A and B are shown apart, each in its own frame.
Chain A
Amino acid sequence: MRFARNDIPDIADDYVLGLLETAQAEEVEAALPHDAQLKAAVAASRERFLPLDTAAEPVATDTLLWQRIETALPAQPGPGARPKPAPANDNPGAKAGHGWRTTAIAAMAASVLLVAGLAASLMRTVDPVVVAVLLNEAGEVQAVVEDFGNENATVRLLADFEVPSDKTIEVWTLPSKDTGPVSLGLLDGIRSARLAGPALPRPKDNQLYEITLEQAGGSPTGRPTGPILAKGYAQLPR
């Protein structure tokens, strides 16, 4: 609803003081994002009264309260968030699923273009079943995996990676939660490669692919243990 301009300072004060009925307060909250004058009046009212709160004598807090808060925090979603799969990483230090904030819209748009371009170029040869664009935590495109579903996959690296001499890049996919992450193979050096992985079910839309940094020779446990360099979800070429 749109409030009469003359009433805005009064409404803002009543809202900030908590004097509005619940329904009226909800109307104010609904109007706030679209009504710059109301927003400014509420902001000014808050600032006027804030010293009454910031002068309050703090009570002692205990860490239990923080722990309750922290355990209830959801992962940060972002614009265009996709559902998150189970983390495909055994290494608690790698904090899979945490910090993988959904990427900037610009990065997503770039990925879509990239996928479209790749799909177009691949029309000339054998089509992969799925293409996954792998992004780093900052949402930058790092690599593209094309999975042909016939135990062959290719990885194209699109960024520079620093790989110490005793480490190697390993490529993973998560065919299902029950299977858990499965290695598609190791990269020989830091370059794009064709991988001959194990026989797996035909790759699906939204299947997770990721590359991690593992010790030379590959993960000792058969599951990802090192930091995730990039990850992304498969898309079916159209």
Chain B
Amino acid sequence: MDGRADTFETLLAACAGGDRMALRRIFDAEAGRLIAVAQRIVRRRELAEEVVQEAFIRIWTHAHQYDSSQGSARGWIYAIVRNRALNLVRDGRRETVIEDVEAVQEQESSDAIMAAWHRLDRNSRLYGCLEALDEKKKRGILMAYVGGYSHGEIAGRLSLPLGTTKSWIRRGLTALRECMA
């Protein structure tokens, strides 16, 4: 894993130096997964590809700003994709889908969130610490991180008042930090 992290760091440095093959290698290694991550948030495949396309250009233009104080290079790359996807749904583009399609996508999104949970390594600390939370806290955190839902959207889907939802998620996140510390 360390060798891999080093590789992404090296590839980012090469991107900053103008090496397009380095960006291509990041694309080959991660694009399929990054599209999947973006699609969990923006729902539609073509929007997810748009997000990843913009993200790769940003990775290219901002590679010189990366340093290890910002965490792993791989995490930095994923954060760029996540931020672009979140910006897109915050701009309201997710809400433009017609209603019956929305119902289908809602189910698919719920499935995608559970799939992310089930694919998580059972031996990882994240799995163990999320598993230790109440079901609703765990669910709320996964809906936010994996599905890109806002507090309001989570409250609606969990049928909880907004204030209650916020404090549940807050407490869940605090417990998760303590558990993983």
Partner of B71, one of A47, A53, A78: A47
Residues of B within 8 A of A57 (CB): 33, 36, 115, 119
Query: Please, which residues of chain A bring their CB within 8 A of the CB of B60?
Result: 73-74, 76
Is the contact region of chain A dominated by helix, strand, or loop, or is it mixed?
Answer: helix
Residue of A nearest to B31 (CB): A61
The reply on A114 being an interface residue by CB < 8 A is no
Which residue of chain B lies nearest to A100 when distances are taken between CB atoms in the complex?
B18
State the Cβ distance, A58 to closest chain B Cβ, in Å: 3
Q: Contact check, A52 vs B176: say whether CB atoms are below 8 A apart.
A: no
Q: Does A121 contact B (CB under 8 A)?
A: no
* 0/1 interface trace, chain B 57-77, chain A, CB 8 Å (1 if under): 100110010000111101110
Are B18 and A65 neighbours in the complex by a CB distance under 8 Å? Answer: no
Among A35-43, A126-134, A150-158, A211-219, the stretch in contact with B: A35-43
Interface assignment of A106: CB less than 8 Å from any CB of chain B: no
Interface residues of B in 23-62 (CB under 8 A from A): 23-24, 27, 31-33, 35-37, 39-41, 45, 49, 52-53, 56-57, 60-61
Q: Any chain A CB within 8 A of the CB of B20?
A: yes
Closest A residue, CB atoms, query B115 = A57
Q: What is the interface residue range for chain B against chain A?
A: 35 or more
- Contact partner of B53 (CB less than 8 A), chosen from A16, A54, A69, A99, is A69
Check A17 for interface membership: any CB of B closer than 8 A. Answer: yes
User: Do B20 and A73 have beta carbons less than 8 Å apart?
Assistant: yes
- In angstroms, Cα B67 to Cα A39, docked, is 11
| Chain A residues within CB distance 8 Å of chain B | 9-10, 13-14, 16-19, 22, 25, 36, 39-40, 42-44, 46-61, 65-66, 68-70, 72-76, 78, 98-99, 101
8 CB-based A-B contacts, threshold 8 Å: A10-B170, A18-B86, A25-B86, A46-B76, A51-B120, A52-B120, A56-B37, A57-B36
